[in-house]
Amino acid sequence: MHARPPHISRRRLLQAAGGGALAASAGAGIWAWRSPGEQLARTVEPARRGRAVADAADQAFLHVIAHADDALYFMNPDLEQSIRSGARSVTVCLTGGESDGHNVGRSTYAPRSVPRNRAAFTRARANGLRAAHAVMATGDPASPWDVEAISLIPGFQVEIQTLRDAPQIQLIFLELVEARTVLAPRANSLRGLWLGVAGTLPTLRPENSPVRGQFRYTRDQVTATLAAVLDRVRPTVVRTLDPNAVHSPKPQFPAADPRLAGLRYFDHQDHTASAYFAQAALADYWGRSTERPAIVENYLGYEVGGLPNNLDLATARRKGELLSVYGWADNRDCGDTAGCGDRKVGGTAFAGGTRNWTRSTRLRAPGSNAWIRPAKDGRLAAFAVLDGVAHCWAETAPGSGTFHPPAPVGGKLLQGQIQVVRHPDGTLQLFASRTVLPGRNAAHRREVMTAVQTGSSPDGVPAFARWESLGSPDGEPVKSLETGFPAAVAAPDGTVHVFVRTWDGGIAHRSGPRGRQWSLWQRPAAPAGLPQAATRITDGLDAGVDSDGRIHVVAPGGGTVRHWMSQEPGGAPQPAAATGLPEASGPVSLVPLEGGTVRIAYRAAPGAQILLAERRAGGWRVAARCADVGGYGRVAAAPAGPGGRMVIAARDAAGAVRIATAGDGVQPWQSGKVAHSAAPGVVRGAGGRAVVVALGNDGLLYATRQKTAGAGAPFDGWRAQTGSPDRVVGDGSV
């Protein structure tokens, strides 16, 4: 075990740095019900500025990437929001990204006219990355950096760069040799090292590096280095690239070593392997004591270019601007003869084609619309994954508005958000996904997990049995890695049904009475008369039971919203008639209402605008559109009383929570400065008041509830759930 490096508290570091700029929520809007043919009403609420709810000193972000531009393409706007919050933000780049060594723009690509110099190109990419970070932190690409070589594990050096005017911003470069090909099998790569084809992987020393010499890393040494970074940063949020990339139907390139053979994927092999190493390092890090548990977010890579655009235009343009800084589009003189940026990106990041990556940001885990539910005694219980383990916040009493500190409720290496099912008798059941890392007696795979409530502690916190594996609908380990995240419901007779996206883009489900004695995985028939490509869904499904007892499943895909429905109460869902609804740019959330009506909330493609649609006897129709507040990801939704009243909550362009309510009339968006992970949660609490919760980037639960019951009632200030009923944080505004 390597020695733990000395730790500087985040608060002390931020005091030394003088804090940082705070991202303010911008824009506002409303949503309105309408009848067919009725014009949509819109009003705009002035943007309000205020102090962010969470203290920047209580947050720290670690970004693990494969190439210098990865976070700019795939993790922004979240990366910039973290930097602008004033919190500590560290990015560790595993490879040098040396490519072919020609730092030449793609539009005038002529390698022979520019000498091949991989060491210079690696340095130029690092210079571009630090210029983009300087712009995000200070507004000036020329802000100076302090550069040094440090040792994270014995016998190895890495380069660390610290932004002088904001020393909470750091870049760490391992400079491992990259694959130099997106897909073709290559032993001398991160993937080859992960699979054991290569025993070691060398570094490529950039020009002008303070690191002396070349190093060769084993697989365990890469993992240990990342674990040492985790020890050093002690992050509250860890962001990685996608460990569960979707496969391509095209055949794989021939491989001399059978361990390198396999499927093609819609992502760069370095991206996927970097995420695997991050998962292995987290497993090591979580095995030791930490200052504060971490939230993990995984971001899609190249795959976003083939999915509907999901960002508002202003956010996408900002991503492009920062990539132009990285790409040295302004020809600035940074004083380094190696180059000041990556000409291959240049100023074309906002153009079409593969640069469509700037117009989307997607998490692999689509989030849950059911991670907070009332327990049997009426108190609310919220569940989230911290350090790969499920945790529960339970209200101190029904309707108290105060939650106990989080209590661990089991699980290991869980990913994404928890899905909670409430049984007819009021007991709860949890569903999640987890990764099993490869080992002596374990294949690398993904599986669906569940845990059934067995009782409650004296203070009302639900207790659960050991987590049980439900396996995967695709038994082959490699295919199981693409299993989607579960959505589950309990039918009126007590049968629990769990649904996931399959490896081939369909859905599968298992059923069990009272959530036990599970059936085998079953797959509903594909819709008739559609080509295979049109039947594939994107992960982000949801399920619910209508007032007549029929089960509904909805999912994005095939250019619209797909719908499955059981023909009789509690029956297995079958493909329903085409919805005819606009294409979704993200997950779809389903809310059953009275009279057999079901309503869905989602973001329509292209872009981030939220709309609501409902299914009545006559079929589906768009019932409401929200004024655009940007953001991305799942829209949380829940009923808020009779007459179709609803509450929705969603991330906005500033990364904060927006809340909207509707009854008989139009209500404005309400905003709160809660920067958070994944999707917020909405539930109807004691007394009929709606409650909105969010998992803050500091690992705390934040909650706000309506002052009185009713669709138009305002919400109280956001409260950090630390066990104290009096702690209202930030400006408290919603």
d(CA 338, CA 643): 66
Residue-level pLDDT at 11: 37
Burial class (CB in 10 A: 0-12, 13-18, 19+), 570: middle
Name which of 678, 195, 196 is nearest 414 in CA terms: 678
3-state secondary structure 657-710: EEEEEECCCCEECEEECCCEEEEEEEEECHHHCEEEEEEECCCCEEEEEECCCC
- Residue matched to tokens 């009725």: 38
Q: What share of the chain is helix, strand, coil (3-state, %, to 5)?
A: 20, 30, 50
Residue-level pLDDT at 247: 96
d(CA 535, CA 368): 23
Give me the residues paired with residue 271 across strands.
none
Beta strands of 49-97 (E only): which ranges?
60-65, 88-95
* Confidence grade of residue 108 (pLDDT, cut at 50, 70, 90): low
Give the Cβ contact number of residue 261 at 10 Å. 12
What residues contact 292, with CB distance under 8 A and at least 6 apart?
234, 236, 698, 699
Give the Cβ contact number of residue 99 at 10 Å. 20
| Res 386 pLDDT > 70 | yes
d(CA 269, CA 266): 9
| Res 160 pLDDT > 70 | yes
Higher pLDDT, 668 or 97: 97
Kindly list the distances between the CA atom of residue 116 and the CA atoms of 101, 112, 121, 455, in Å, as whole numbers in the listed order: 5, 8, 9, 66
* Confidence grade of residue 645 (pLDDT, cut at 50, 70, 90): confident
Domains contained in the chain, CATH given:
60-359 (3.40.50.10320), 365-485 (no CATH)
- pLDDT above 90 covers a percentage of the chain that reads 75
Higher pLDDT, 93 or 40: 93
Question: Coil, strand or helix: which one is 81?
Answer: helix
For all residues of the chain together, what is the average pLDDT? 88
Residue-level pLDDT at 18: 34
Name which of 153, 148, 194 is nearest 172 in CA terms: 148
Burial class (CB in 10 A: 0-12, 13-18, 19+), 545: buried
* Confidence grade of residue 98 (pLDDT, cut at 50, 70, 90): very high
The CB-side HSE value for 462 (13 A sphere, CA atoms) comes to 33
Q: Report DSSP state, residue 548.
A: T
d(CA 590, CA 384): 20
| Res 728 pLDDT > 60 | no
Residue-level pLDDT at 62: 98
Write the pLDDT tens digit of every residue in 113-127.
677 999 999 999 999
Residue-level pLDDT at 581: 97
